[in-house]
Amino acid sequence: MAQTGQITGSVDSQHTGGVTACALDYYGKRLATASADHSVHVFDVFDGQQRPAGDLKSHEGPVWKVTWAHPRFGNLLASCSYDMRVIIWKESQPSQWQIAYVNQEHTASVNDVEFSPCEYGLRLASASSDGQISVLTYGVHDAQWRRAPFPAHANGASSVSWAPAAPGSTTMRLVSGGNDARVIIWKCENESWSQDTLLWHSDCHTDWVRAVAWRPSGNSLIASGSWDKSVCIWGQEMENQPWRLVCKLPVPGKVESLAWSVTGSTLAVTTEDNETFLYREATNGGFEQVATVSEVGIVDANPAPVSPKITAFGAPAEIAPQAPPAAAPPANAEFQQQQQNVLDSFGL
């Protein structure tokens, strides 16, 4: 029999508009919230308590996403908005935040932002309704941000996610989702971004792809969620091997966001109805729903594996031809030097 659990804690966001996104920092002790009221709030959270730690107001439209940089770069937070801007914030003194950088080169709403793994240095990817993905890179020697944009989705890009850094590999990869119902992997070699793989299968998405999430650990898995009320799980057994549709999960509502647990063992799927469904990888290669989370609490599900519509690592996904390489941005400082100097050289 399914069991019901209670919500053991909550945070009063103190926003005057709806909360659109939230993000915990690396240590799970700070929470940033984004809102339709054009602001970002930061809280210290500990022992079930909350303490305001920042009220960030510079956007001129609803703020869609927030993301934290790795702590080795200091207390940095990025936000994106309907106002077509990406803002990077720096905490100069405890609970005192200043704008470190503003980019306003997108020509439509910026829908998603995410900092890269720290192994790649200080980089930030953004996805916009103008159809572009852009990567901002911070140069240590000259203390400047450089932007590398490339066309991604003709009808608008809605989400972006970084691949975890692979040991011994210098190739950076991103995955993006768009309003064209496509999920695309991009790679960067010698600071030039190009299309690597179009994830496609005859049973893949048929509506806007609102969220993508690259699993942070283990073998390569990507989750994509769509307004067609489904989540596709894509897998790659080894680097340079074909990507395959592992399974397709039916979801009760339009998917709005996805998030893997830190260990990559659990996938959270949130729908437009503010319900969250938790899935865990099953022994048969599919995924099983283990719980449902809503405002009333957590309901455990009987472990009943969702049968994949194809077997795990079955028929390969079709691979699209590579797109012409994007123009190479100016070269970035080496990562080791960035580790040593970024905090000191980040002038305000």
Q: Please, which residues bridge with residue 76 across strands?
A: 90
**pLDDT at position 47:** 80
Q: State whether 195 and 234 are in the same domain.
A: no
Length of the chain: 348
The CATH number of residue 166's host domain is 2.130.10.10
Residue 280: which of 256, 261, 296 has the closest Cα?
Answer: 261
Torsion of CA 190, 193, 196, 198, to 10 degrees: 170
- Alpha-carbon distance of 44 to 24, in angstroms, equals 10
- Alpha-carbon distance of 61 to 48, in angstroms, equals 31
pLDDT digits (tens, 9 = 90+) for 116-139: 999 999 999 999 999 999 999 999
**pLDDT at position 307:** 45
**pLDDT at position 108:** 98
- Per-residue 3-state assignment (H helix, E strand, C coil) for 122-170: CEEEEEECCCEEEEEEEECCCCEEEEEEEECCCCCEEEEEECCCCCCCC
The model's pTM is: 0.85
**pLDDT at position 314:** 42
Whether 3 maps to a domain, the answer reads: no
Q: State whether 298 and 332 are in the same domain.
A: no
The domain total for the chain is 2
**pLDDT at position 222:** 98
- Alpha-carbon distance of 29 to 43, in angstroms, equals 8
Q: State whether 175 and 268 are in the same domain.
A: no
Q: State whether 299 and 347 are in the same domain.
A: no
Angle (CA) 219 223 227, round 5°: 170
Q: State whether 301 and 260 are in the same domain.
A: yes
Q: State whether 292 and 168 are in the same domain.
A: no
Residue 125: which of 98, 145, 143, 95 has the closest Cα?
Answer: 145
Contact 263, 217 (CB under 8 A): yes
Q: Please, which residues bridge with residue 86 across strands?
A: 80, 103
Whether 10 maps to a domain, the answer reads: no
Q: State whether 296 and 348 are in the same domain.
A: no
pLDDT digits (tens, 9 = 90+) for 309-337: 443 444 444 444 433 333 333 334 443 44
Q: State whether 166 and 218 are in the same domain.
A: no
* Enclosing domain of residue 259: 207-318
Using 50 as the pLDDT threshold, list the residues of the chain that sit under it.
1-2, 304-348
C-alpha to C-alpha distances, 247 to 230, 235, 340, nearest whole angstrom: 10, 9, 43
pLDDT digits (tens, 9 = 90+) for 9-20: 677 778 889 999
Q: What contacts 167, CB < 8 A, 6 or more positions away?
A: none
**pLDDT at position 77:** 98
**pLDDT at position 8:** 56
Q: Please, which residues bridge with residue 38 across strands?
A: none
- Alpha-carbon distance of 336 to 203, in angstroms, equals 44
